[in-house]
Structure 1
Amino acid sequence: MSTSTAALTATGISRVYPSPSGDVQALEDVSLDLHSGELLVVRGPSGSGKTTLLNILGGLDAPTSGTVHLGTRELTAMPETQALDVRRRELSYIFQSFGLIPVLSAAENVEVPLRLLETEPAERDERVAATLELVGLGAHANQRPYELSGGQQQRVGIARALVTEPKILIADEPTGQLDSGTAATIMELLSELTHARGVAAVVSTHDPLLMARADRAVELHDGALRRHGRHASDAAAD
């Protein structure tokens, strides 16, 4: 696929954090692209720069140098008000810590981003119910997070990310708090939903066993891209 058709393109991304003991180079000249209907895994050990990269790809942080484009639009050049609107409408996030609001039910948690977009109540209800069914939690709509297992809570997080019908899905170690069996199930679900909905998804992990569910994998090491363009199963076999 050519870069011009990519849903997201990062070019020459570097991120430097100043500190009293000297500058910290979190990312160094990272370039990659992400296409609709593709699940891309960013692999690397803790401290390799995965979270920093995902934050920049999603517009939550700004690079010291380099650019991020969504199609033909440069995300890194947008004023904050425009970037905020893009994040609400076109980008969605899945967090390792689930990020659910404890006092809200599963359905109410999924509904939050639609409320921020001021979606009509009838449409909100319909989309929330359909998305919970999509992730296999239709029967748990009225349960609160503490009444759900870790895997079920992460499914709520996935439903919340999908309910706005985003173009790009960003997941930062979404299986980090799950046992290996549940983690594999969540990765399989992400893969199926990415392909079925044509979403461009990027997922960070340090678990090579989960990479078999991805379409493609890249590896970060000390903030630099080590491996690019190999199939996930090849990288997982290393």
Structure 2
Amino acid sequence: MKSKETFNFRIILIMLLLCAASGVSAADSLSCDVQRRCTFDDGHRLRAVDIVVPAALVGVSALYIENGWMVRQKRAVRYALLPKDRRKMHADDYVQYSPVVAVYGLNLAGVRGRHSFKDRTIMLAMSYATMGIIVNTMKLAISERRPDVSTRNSFPSGHTATAFMGAQFLYEEYKSVSPLIAWSGFVVAPLTAYLRVYNDRHWINDVVAGACIGIVSTKLAYRLYPLLFRKSSCRRSTALAALPYYDGRSVGVSMNMTF
């Protein structure tokens, strides 16, 4: 009987030593927890197509600056969208911000989005910074003349980039809450793009490029945020628990994984 108890004790001791040797902490209850491993939720994933397609559209839009046939096409679009009795409208100066305002307004009204105030505000700032750097760098480098010949910073459209950046921001925050709310930003953002052409401030290729840059800027910010801020709530952890057992006849390990 004494030899059997000694054997049982040795089995349990060996299992505890195995847990410790594999980097697992052992508790008095014989439970062993591995270190938690952090991953990202689905809202922070970025696929290659999310970058390649918009980049390709921006590249094609840039061809409309110098290519003879394409220049004629964008001028034809301009003439089609400019009525003779046109009066300039300044709504685009304000509508561009409406998707972003909607996110914070909905949260104040009790319709909570995907992230906390702190997380979404930092991601919004990152989106603005990314969009601003890309847009202004391209404006200075390309120097396309505006259709009203006022300045040479037409390509790409900053107003349109801001509007679509906000639309993507609204989508990311509410796609898991309400599809209707999530997609509403993409109804308002094209209005900004249209008004920029209508007001003779941009060509059609300018607003197409601006829309792509705005969307990509937000996607990049949502992907980079959990990488840069490792303590943010955007990261989720995975833990593995192991419980060794011995019933007198057999030895085994019971495992449980939590997310």
Task: Please confirm whether the aligned pair reaches a TM-score higher than 0.5, indicating the same fold.
Answer: no
TM bracket, shorter-chain basis: under 0.3
- Which structure features the higher share of helix residues? 2
Larger Rg: 2
